[in-house]
């Protein structure tokens, strides 16, 4: 089993060292922590901070027009000389143009989601780009291996935003995906501490993708109102809904209440889209309309009570991982 960290001894002055596992080697990073490419949160400031701290920062192309993506790519290249990538939902309406931009701008790492990776993986490989794909089941993990991707992200439905229809938790999903594929495996969904990283490793993951914790970082482009609301959440304050469109984990605000009431009455997909209105996630996350916008965040938000810098978050994750491992193995 691959390890995230080795040689931790709290009572000594020995420096912690990283053991290079397949995720580190694949992406050329120091620490197998990937920042989720979240819509309206993952701009160049957040992604470059994560990469500069030793992880893998991802731009969130799902909320960027093509011209905006070009701007963020070029700012990333100025802000860091470390590896970084782009997350792109394959259902994006201008997906072909975005792929051309990614290739033309010399991006080296792409994480795809929300669709089949088969259509674009070969094209990206021909351009020298590493490809990881997000899945919600072992069935889709097998299809990813057949499509030739370089790694899979197995995401449990604790995660914020769009989720798989299987509603499988991360702890259930990871060992089944590990059995289903030989690809390097990244765990996602409900991971917000070093102890959770260690649990993911024990289940067979070789790295973690973290969304919620970074969405609430100082460098995140989400609004202050969004961050303040999410750091005040308690257990049970998020819920999966919109299953007739695309299962989405939302905070229980006024918009969620309207959606839930409509779903209870049997509303169809068109009626639900009408309730959402245009740019619902932008309104909630980026513009700070915490009542009438979509507030997409993971269940783990109930454990997060402060808005910290990426450097502080990364240092804390490593320390928690090392301390937990030491306690369990001493």
> Which stretches of the chain drop beneath a pLDDT of 50?
1-2, 6-18
Residues 85, 14, single domain; the answer is yes
Strand partners, 210: 35
CA angle 39, 42, 44 (to 5 degrees): 140
C-alpha to C-alpha distance for 128 and 290, rounded to whole angstroms? 41
CA R_g for the chain: 19
3-class SS of residue 5: strand
Over residues 245-267, the pLDDT tens digits come to 999 999 999 999 999 999 999 99
Residues 218 and 241 in one domain: no
Distance CA 239, CA 241 (A): 6
pLDDT number for residue 3: 55
Residue 50: exposure state from Cβ atoms within 10 A (0-12, 13-18, ≥19): buried
Question: Buried (b) or exposed (e) across 261-296, using 16+ Cβ within 10 A?
Answer: ebbeeebeeeebeeebeeebbebbbbbbbbeebbbb
Q: Is residue 228 part of a domain?
A: no
Together in a domain, 239 and 313: no
Among candidate residues 185, 150, 188, the one with its CA nearest the CA of residue 171: 188
pLDDT digits (tens, 9 = 90+) for 114-128: 888 998 999 999 999
Residue 110 forms beta bridges with which residues?
Answer: 86, 131
**For residues 112 and 90, what is the distance between their CA atoms, to the nearest angstrom?**
6
Residues 53 and 21 in one domain: yes
- 243 and 171: one domain? no
**77/315 Cα distance (integer angstroms):** 24
Which pTM was predicted?
A: 0.93
Could you please report the per-residue DSSP string of 121-137? HHHHHHTT-EEEEEESS
Q: Is residue 229 part of a domain?
A: no
User: What is the number of structural domains in the chain?
Assistant: 2
Q: Read off the CATH number of the domain in which 149 is found.
A: 3.20.20.70
Same domain, 243 and 216: no
Residue 204 forms part of a structural domain: yes
What domain range is 87 assigned to? 5-222+305-329
State whether 159 and 255 are in the same domain.
no
Whether 292 and 309 share a structural domain: no
Q: What is the pLDDT of residue 93?
A: 84
Q: How far apart are CA 241 and CA 107, in angstroms?
A: 34
pLDDT of res. 106: 97
pLDDT given at position 81 = 98
**Spatial CA neighbour of 143 closest among 118, 175, 108, 170:** 118
Verify that 183 and 45 share a domain, yes or no.
yes
Same domain, 290 and 310: no
Count of CB atoms within 10 A of residue 28's CB?
12
The answer to whether 61 touches 86, Cβ cutoff 8 Å, is: yes
Q: Is 14 a member of any domain?
A: yes
pLDDT of residue 108: 98
108 lies in the same domain as 182: yes
CB atoms within 10 A of CB 175: 15
Q: Are residues 206 and 272 in the same domain?
A: no
């Amino acid at each position: 089993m691959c390890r995230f960290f080795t040689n931790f001894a709290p009572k000594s002055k020995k420096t912690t060292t990283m053991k290079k596992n397949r995720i580190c080697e694949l992406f050329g990073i120091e620490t197998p922590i990937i920042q989720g490419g979240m819509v309206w949160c993952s701009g160049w400031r957040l992604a470059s901070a994560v990469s500069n701290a030793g992880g893998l920062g991802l731009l969130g192309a799902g909320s960027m027009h093509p011209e905006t993506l070009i701007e963020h790519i070029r700012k990333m290249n100025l802000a860091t000389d470390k590896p970084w990538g782009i997350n792109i939902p394959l259902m994006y309406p201008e997906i072909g143009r975005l792929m051309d931009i990614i290739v033309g701008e010399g991006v080296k790492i792409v994480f795809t989601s929300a669709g089949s990776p088969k259509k674009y993986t070969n094209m990206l490989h021909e351009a020298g780009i590493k490809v990881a794909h997000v899945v919600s089941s072992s069935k889709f993990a097998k299809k990813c291996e057949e499509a030739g991707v370089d790694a899979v992200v197995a995401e449990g439905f604790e995660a914020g935003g769009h989720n798989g229809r299987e509603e499988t938790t991360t702890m259930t999903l990871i060992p089944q995906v590990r059995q289903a594929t030989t690809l390097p495996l990244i765990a996602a969904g409900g991971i917000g501490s070093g102890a959770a990283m260690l649990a993911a490793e024990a289940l067979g993951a070789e790295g973690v993708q973290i969304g919620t914790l970074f969405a609430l970082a100082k460098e995140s482009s989400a609004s202050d109102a969004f961050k303040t609301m999410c750091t005040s959440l308690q257990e049970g304050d998020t819920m999966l809904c919109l299953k007739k469109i695309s299962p989405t984990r939302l905070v229980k605000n006024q918009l969620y209440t309207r959606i839930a009431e409509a779903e209870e009455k049997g509303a169809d997909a068109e009626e639900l889209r009408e309730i959402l209105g245009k740019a619902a996630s932008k309104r909630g996350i980026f513009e700070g309309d915490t009542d009438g916008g979509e507030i997409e965040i993971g269940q783990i938000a109930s454990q997060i009570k402060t808005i910290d810098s990426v450097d502080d978050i990364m240092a804390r994750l490593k320390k928690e991982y090392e301390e937990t491992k030491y306690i369990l193995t001493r």
